[in-house]
Amino acid sequence: MARKKLVVLLPASLDEGPASLKKAHNFAQVVVTQSQRRAIQELQDAEGFLLWDVFNPVIRNNPLPPRLEWIHTASVGVDAVLSSDVAASQIVVTNTRGVFEYPIAEYVLGLLLMVARDFRNTTKFQRAKVWKWRATIALRGQTVVLIGPGAIGREVFTLLRAVGVKVLAVGRRQVTNDPVFGRRHSMEELEYLLPAADAVILALPLTSETAGVMNKRRFSQMKHGSSFINIGRGGLVDEDALLDALKDGQVGTAALDVFAVEPLPTDHPFWSMDQVFVSPHMSADLCGWEDCVVAKFIENLERWALGKPLENIVDKAARFS
- Is there a contact between 283 and 255 (Cβ–Cβ < 8 Å)? no
Residue from 38, 172, 281, 303 carrying the catalytic annotation: 281
Max CA pair span of the chain: 73
- d(CA 46, CA 68) in angstroms, rounded, equals 6
Catalytic site includes residue 233? yes
Q: Which of 233, 239, 290, 319 is catalytic?
A: 233
Torsion of CA 226, 232, 234, 239, to 10 degrees: -20
Pairing status of strand 175-178 against strand 182-186: antiparallel
Q: Is residue 183 annotated as a catalytic residue, yes or no?
A: no
- Long-range CB pairs of 12-16 (<8 Å, 24+ gap) are 12/53, 14/52
Q: In this structure, how many other beta carbons lie within 10 angstroms of the beta carbon of residue 177?
A: 8
- In one-letter notation, the amino acid at residue 134 is R
Phi first, then psi, for residue 317 (nearest 5°) are: -65, -35
- At 277, the amino acid letter reads F
Task: State the catalytic residue, choosing from 16, 188, 209, 262.
Answer: 262
Instruction: Look up 281 and say whether it is catalytic.
Output: yes
Residues marked active site are found at 233, 262, 281
